[in-house]
Every structure is written in C-alpha cells, then in structure tokens.
Structure 1
Amino acid sequence: MNKNLYWSVFKNLEKELIELSNQIHIDDNQLNVYSVKISELLIRTVVEIESLSKELYQMIGGTKPNDKTLFFDTDCIQLIEERWKLSKKKVFISAVNFYLNDDKNRIQTPLRKANKMGSSSSDWQKAYQAVKHNRVKNLSKGNLKNLIQGLAALYLMNVYYKDTIFESVSDSSGTNFDSSMGSSIFSIKTHRNNGIHPELEYNKLDDFDECTYLIKATDKTREELQKTMAIFNDEYQKKISQNTVEEIGKLINEKQILINVDKNILIQKIRDKSLSQVNKEILINTKNFSDGLNYEAVLNKQQY
C-alpha cells in the first residue's frame, strides 16, 4: 500500500475536536452546540470520507471509473457495505474528556445509512450537505453530534484502509490488544476468541457483525489443535464404549442385573458414569492442547 495520507489528516481533525472539548464541556446535553468552526470541521471530515471511500472502492475491485459519475455514498460505500457490513460496526466514544453517558451517544454505528443519498442517508451526511450549500441558513446542523458521528465514520474507514494484522496477541481475550487503534477519541469493538470448534475455521458469537477486529488463533496452531482434537475424540468415544461394556460385564458377573430393571435405563446410567470418569481426562488434555495456541487480531471482512 502507498504511504497512508488519510490517517494523518484524521489525526489532525481529531486533534482539533479535542481542542474544542477543552472549551466546550461535551456531554449528552451539549451535542446540539453548533458554530462556524464545528461546521468547517464537519465539511473537512466528510471531504475526507468521500476521498477515502473512493480509494477503498478501487482497492476492493470497484469497476466504475473514478470520475464525476462515481458517487461516494451510493457507489463506493454501497460496495464496501456489501463486502464488510460496515453499517453494523460499532464505534465507542472513549475519550476521557467526553462525558457521554447515554449509550445512543456513546456507542455509534456511524456508517449506518451512509450508503444512501438525500433524506434517507445518515445524519452527518445530511448535515454536511446542508451546511455546504447554505451555511447561514443551516448553521445549526453543523453541531457536535453530527461532527462526532462523521469523524467516527472517518475513523472506521481509516481502520479498514490500514488493514493491519496484529501478531502475537497475548491470549484469547486479546488482553494486550489496543482497541483504540491509535485514536485519542474512539475505539472499536473486538470479537473475542470463543474457543476452537472441531470443524469450523472460526467460532462466531451473536455480536460478530458489530465487531471491527477479530481475536483468533493463528491458522497454523488452530489446524494443529483440530487434528489433535479429532484423534482424541475417536479415542474418547472408544474409551466410553469400552468402559460401558466393562461395567455391564462386571454387573453380570456379580449377578446385580435384575430381571425387572429396564435394561436401557441401566445402560444409560452406566454410560453416564463412564462419561464422568473419562471427562476428567479430557479436561486435562484439552488444557494441554490449548496451551499450544498462538493468537492474532485481524480485520473483520466477513471472512467467516
């Protein structure tokens, strides 16, 4: 990838918003505060989104030429949405001097409706169009709420543009993973490793689509574990059957199987006892298997 010009611009815009937060107490009641400066920052933010969305569009195989017929929303963000479901990705406002307690303000899905145009589009897009075309009439649209949402959208798109793989993540919970991704205001949601399924490449939880990064075992160590699990499972089933047969044989020899006892119920009880015994072994072995896993954090491109 060529030198990233977009991140430095994002960081400058973020810095200016932080400087505003030193003058305006940003809490849930202040989000409708507007000014010429805030409108200017909103316009600059969305200009960056327009440019970056077209860059991403070309990167992922968009076929329309990059000219005046290519629209950043209905063409570029639409294709990005189809590939990566960015409308569902959550961004958290995590800056210490942003005092947002209401979840609808603190937790954003900034690219929701961003692939639409006009009145159906996102609030920050509508605000951008309004202040760009008639700043005097629509100055109130250039407010903190729309600026923060727009900047969150730019942040998320920058994260996808950088497409960084973080190797040597400490554990399955990503304890040492920095979810801010270098931002001083925002952080992304991460999908924690949910254990290794014997047959699946990745074990997804219900919030998978909301997560920008995935904490996962490296393919090499996962595949090695799955092979070991398959071998162990075969041995496990054999041992259960063997223990069950041995227990039944012992009862027969000791003449403890009575004629009036339901044979199926008795066999199930014996099998459950065998299962409990063998499970003690599997707990020890499973821990030994998992100790060999290495973890990494990768971008969620709906690859699973």
Structure 2
Amino acid sequence: MKTNFWQYYLSIEEDIDRLFRYIEPSEDNFSTYSVELTRLYLAICSELDVILKAYCKLLDDDSKASRINEYAELINASNKDISTASLNLQRFRLAITPFSDWEKSITPKWWKKYNGVKHNRDINFRDANLGNVLNSFAGLYLLNLYYYHELRSIDLRKQGFFEHLEETASSLKSRLKVLKINSIWFEFHKR
C-alpha cells in the first residue's frame, strides 16, 4: 500500500487556513490556545512522527529511528539543510525555521511542548498554542517536501538525472497559498 503523506498535509493545511479566519497568525497571538489548536497540534505532530520515521527509512533502509533525536541525527548526517530551511506564511510575512534547534543537536521546543500536551494535557493545555501549532505545521510541510524530493531522487538517480528541491516543491499541488520556502513562492493554483 502506497502512503500519501501529502494528502494528509493538504487536509491539515485547509484546517490551518480556516483557523486564520479566527486567529491572526502574528507573533502577538502566539500564546493563544484553544481546544481547536490542541486538536491540530496533536494531529500535526502525530503525522510528523509518522513521516519522520518514513523519511529516515528512505534515507537508510536499516533505520530503527523512533525518537526525535534519532530522526534528527540521521537526517542531519545525510547532509540535509533542513535545520536552516526557513518557511514563510505567505500572506502574513511570518518566518518560521521549525528545525533550527537541530543545528545545536537539541530537540525543537515545539516538539517538547507537544509531548507535554500529549501526555499531560490537563497540565500543559496552554502549550497547545498558535506558536507551537505554526512551528509544527511548517515542520510538516518541510518534511513532506524533503520526503518527496528524496523519493523522486532515488528513481531519477537510477536514470542519471537530478531534480532540485524547488522542482519537487512545484510538483506538489496545494489548493491554498499558505507557505513559501526561502525565496520561492508556491502559487500552485496558477498552474
């Protein structure tokens, strides 16, 4: 059975876009929390765990990585620039570098907070806030991009070809204009 991580991402993307009708994605609102943000946070980070594991398997068939630090070690060892990749919420000019902590070999703060919410929601409910949701959402987008790029690269290398990350990004179709990476704008609905 072929997994389709991108379809799941698109579903979450629609939820995030709908959320922006009620909460302006601005640093002033990063501490805003709610039941809906909790639902999104748990769903996004759960999917992150799934795609991280699959991405590590793609990078190394023998990978047994099952924790965030193990994922980070394998991904960073493959010389990926994921820790410096910056995303912007296109309409709001808000930059997010979700895996920047991996440069220092530490777990992203938003991932630590996710585990707190997952295991002790009653105590850590406020940590399911807009800032953590946006960081995890940006991380999910980025991981999808890198996963599909690596998946395509495997086949292309066999044929003697190479695809740039930007080409992979433009081939992933999104119904919304939510994120951009670095200086590349993804306006898929114009294609």
Specify if TM > 0.5. Answer: yes
Aligned equivalent of 1:113: 101
Separation in structure 1 between the aligned mates of residue 61 and residue 7 of structure 2, nearest angstrom: 25
2:142 counterpart of 1:124 = no
Runs of 4+ displaced beyond 3 Å: 114-117, 177-183
- Counterpart CA distance in 1 for 2:49 and 2:8 is 13
User: In the aligned structure 1, how far is the partner of 2:137 from the partner of 2:75?
Assistant: 18
Name the count of aligned residue pairs: 167
Q: CA 1:131 to 1:56, structure 2 compared with 1: closer, same or farther past 3 Å?
A: same
Given that 1:74 and 1:116 are in contact with CA atoms closer than 8 Å, whether structure 2 keeps it comes out as: no
How far apart, CA to CA, are the structure 1 residues paired with 2:22 and 2:66? 36
> Is contact 1:179–1:190 with CA below 8 Å preserved after alignment?
no
Identify the structure with the greater helix proportion.
2
Counterpart in 2 of 1:29?
Answer: 28
Unaligned runs of 5+ in 2: 154-165, 185-191
Aligned to 2:13: 14
CA contact (8 A) 1:32 1:145 kept: yes
CA contact under 8 A between 1:77 and 1:115: conserved in structure 2? no
Match of 2:51 in 1: 52
Structure 1 Cα separation of the partners of residues 40 and 87 of structure 2: 19
Cα distance in 1 for residues equivalent to 2:173 and 2:26 = 23
> Cα deviation per residue 1:113-167 (whole Å; 9 max; x = unaligned)?
25889xx4212101201111111211110000000000100100000111168xx
Tell whether the 8 Å contact from 2:27 to 2:131 is kept in structure 1 after alignment.
no
Contact 1:31/1:143, CA 8 A, preserved across alignment: yes
Q: Which residue of 2 aligns with 1:93?
A: 89
CA distance 1:146–1:180, change in 2 (3 Å): farther
Distance 2:171 2:88 in 1: 10
CA distance in 2 between partners of 1:116 and 1:56 (Å)? 21
Q: What one-letter code is carried by the residue in structure 1 that aligns with 2:98?
A: P
| C-alpha distance 53-156 of structure 1, shift in aligned 2 (>3 A) | same
Q: Which runs of structure 2 are paired with 1:143-292 in the superposition (5 Å)? A: 143-163=129-149, 182=174, 184-189=177-182
Note if contact 1:38-1:144 (Cα within 8 Å) is conserved in structure 2. Answer: yes
Alignment CA distance shift 1:180-1:109 (3 Å): farther
Consecutive unaligned residues of structure 1, counting only runs of 5 or more, are 101-105, 166-173, 192-304
Seq. identity, %: 23
Cα distance change of structure 1 residues 124 and 185 upon mapping to structure 2, 3 Å threshold: same
CA shift in 2, pair 1:109/1:58, >3 Å: same
Distance 1:16 1:114 in 2: 27
Greater Cα radius of gyration, structure 1 or 2: 1
8 A contact 1:10–1:155 mirrored in 2? yes
Q: Which amino acid aligns with 1:146?
A: N
Q: Is the 8 A contact 2:37 2:130 kept in 1?
A: yes
Q: Distance in 1 between matches of 2:89 and 2:34?
A: 21
Q: Which has the higher contact order (CA 8 A, sep 6+)?
A: 2
Check conservation: 1:6, 1:158, Cα contact below 8 A.
yes
Q: Is the 8 A contact 2:31 2:129 kept in 1?
A: yes
